[in-house]
Amino acid sequence: RNAAQLIRPQLPAELIEKRAGCPFDPAAGLTELSGQGRIHRIEHKGETVWLVTGHDEARAVLAAPEMSSDRINSPRARALISPELHAEMFPPERQAGSFIFMDAPRHTRFRRLLTGQFTVRRMRDLTPRVHEIVTSALDAMIEKGPPADLVHDFALPVPSLVICELLGVDYGDRDEFQQRTAKLLSLNTTVDEQIKNGTDLRRFMHKLVVDKQKAPGDDLLSGLVRDTDLTVDELVGIANLLLIAGHETTANMLALGTFALLEHPDQFAKLRDDPALVDNAVEELLRYLSIISSGVSRHAKEDVVIGDATIRAGETVVVSVPAVNRDDSQYDDPHELRVDRPRGHHVAFGHGIHQCLGQQLARVEMAVGFTELLRRLPELKLAVPADEVPLRTDMSIYGVHSLPVTW
């Protein structure tokens, strides 16, 4: 088993694999399950997992204080491997600062230190710089001429450069951290590779934190080094989390979002011809694509009633983001992509105390990214047949590995 599997319960293939012929729809088995109820007890490979497909139930799970996010130390993770291997994979210094895995009140301390850095206002102030970054990526891609790989030339560099500037990471090091992040998010790496990758990424960040201590700049990480009593391990953990969460997610939304628009030419044309729709389009793409395709998991610290189910202490719950975002009690024709759909309460960014810290930044990047892409390349097309686009079914964040386009 690899670390990703340890912290993420496995589900049967029919609930995971994309529907043949449609890279955007949830697995056929998942859609069928949603039709049968809103919370389901699944037995698979000797494990029992509760799978939530209903919208209200998902929000109830994610808001419940009895539900823990400490996937690393969950009864499930502890039962799967020996204490020695657990200690080797997740030593205390590796857990420090990774507040996505913490419960209140430990989580609260980190979240308070960071919330002010990611407010709607702060992110709006960043818009002109995001605009410059988007424009120069598009300038370079257009100058090189078609065909292009939209992932390599646009979707990955834009959020990578934005998060590097925000954190104060040298963009010249991007190959190093992009490769390590990709390996960390891969479902096909071994435990040994995971341990090595985790250690290498921490070493990279450790050096950065120590450099900031010596010579702080005006970036977020320098601010944390200067103004807080966080330990070096905590700073490394925070920086790692922000760097990983901050570029792969948005990159996949930009690339898969473009693919979805190209496969729905009426929606592409609607957004291109009325850029004022972009904020709606971004929310709709987040809902429709639900790139956190394996869901968000928790375990119960105490017995808790969710909908018509009683989750017992120690049991694992997975909120299926793709199923919940297509709950037909929330959305008319949930399986249709409509860029002018009124904004609803999707769970693409989660819900409750762990709701995505970077969501406003992601929204700015996507709004500027899609607007400029469609304005500059109004005749954008796929350069290969749609079924040849390589899908990220082997990664914990869904999307495309590359997107060959022409214009």
Chain-centroid distance, C-alpha 1: 22
Cβ of residue 146: shortest distance to ligand HEM, in angstroms? Answer: 27
* Stretch 250-289 residues interacting with ligand HEM (CB under 6 A): 250, 253
**10 Å Cβ neighbour count for 20?**
9
Q: Of 9, 97, 334, 350, which lies in the binding site for ligand HEM, with binding defined by CB under 6 A?
A: 350
Query: How does DSSP assign 286-321, residue by residue?
Result: HHHH-S-TT-EEEEESS-EEETTEEEPTT-EEEE-H
DSSP category for residue 27: P
Stretch that binds ligand HEM, among 178-186, 196-204, 357-365, 386-394 (CB under 6 A): 357-365
Sheet-wide strand order for 404-406: 148-149, 404-406, 381-382
Q: Rule CB under 6 A: is residue 167 a binding residue for ligand HEM?
A: no
3/242 with CB nearer ligand HEM: 242
Three-class DSSP category at 102: coil
Determine the interface stretch with ligand HEM among 257-265, 322-330, 349-357, 372-380 (rule: CB under 6 A): 349-357
User: Distance between CA 57 and CA 309 in Å, rounded?
Assistant: 10
> Please, which contacts does 246-249 make with residues 24 or more away whose CB atoms are closer than 8 Å?
246/159, 246/162, 246/163, 246/166, 246/167, 246/358, 246/361, 247/156, 247/159, 247/160, 247/162, 247/163, 247/178, 247/181, 248/181, 248/182, 248/185, 248/397, 249/159, 249/291, 249/292, 249/358, 249/362, 249/397
* Binding test (CB under 6 A) with ligand HEM, winner from 34, 53, 69, 189: 69
List, as one string, the DSSP characters of 387-402: GGSPB-TTBSS-SBS-
Q: Tell me the residue nearest to ligand HEM as measured from the CB.
A: 358
Binding-site size, ligand HEM (CB under 6 A)? 24
How many Cβ atoms from other residues are within 10 Å of residue 200's Cβ? 15
Judged by CB, which is closer to ligand HEM: 32, or 132? 132
CB 151 within 8 A of CB 255: yes
Cβ distance to ligand HEM smaller for residue 54 or 350: 350
Binding segment for ligand HEM (CB under 6 A), chosen from 246-254, 266-274, 328-336, 386-394, is 246-254
Q: Tokens standing for 113? A: 């230190």
Residue among 60 and 291 whose Cβ is closer to ligand HEM: 291
Asked if 161 interacts with ligand HEM (CB under 6 A), we say no
- Give yes or no for residue 361 binding ligand HEM (CB under 6 A): yes
CA gap 33, 38 in Å, rounded: 8
Is 296 a residue that touches ligand HEM (CB under 6 A)? yes
Question: End-to-end CA distance of the chain, in Å?
Answer: 43
324 in contact with ligand HEM (CB under 6 A): no
3-state secondary structure of 152: helix
* Burial class of residue 327, CB neighbours in 10 A (0-12, 13-18, 19+): buried
Name the one range near ligand HEM by CB under 6 A: 9-17, 42-50, 77-85, 237-245: 237-245
Out of 6, 33, 77, 348, the residue judged to bind ligand HEM by CB under 6 A: 348
> Based on CB atoms, which residue is closest to ligand HEM, 122 or 381?
122
Count of helices and strands (H, E) across the chain: 19, 10
* Binder of ligand HEM out of 242, 285, 318, 339 (CB under 6 A): 242
Query: Of the two residues 225 and 241, which places its CB atom closer to ligand HEM in the complex?
Result: 241
Question: Is residue 356 near ligand HEM by the rule CB under 6 A?
Answer: yes
Q: Per CB under 6 A, does 358 bind ligand HEM?
A: yes
Distance CA 4, CA 10 (A): 10
Minimum CB separation from ligand HEM for residue 329, in Å?
21
Binding status of residue 380 toward ligand HEM by CB under 6 A: no
Q: How far is the CB of 359 from ligand HEM (least distance, A)?
A: 6
Q: Which is nearer to ligand HEM, 296 or 382 (CB)?
A: 296
Contact residues for ligand HEM, defined by CB under 6 A: 69, 99-100, 111, 163, 241-242, 245-246, 249-250, 253, 291-292, 296, 348-350, 354, 356-358, 361-362
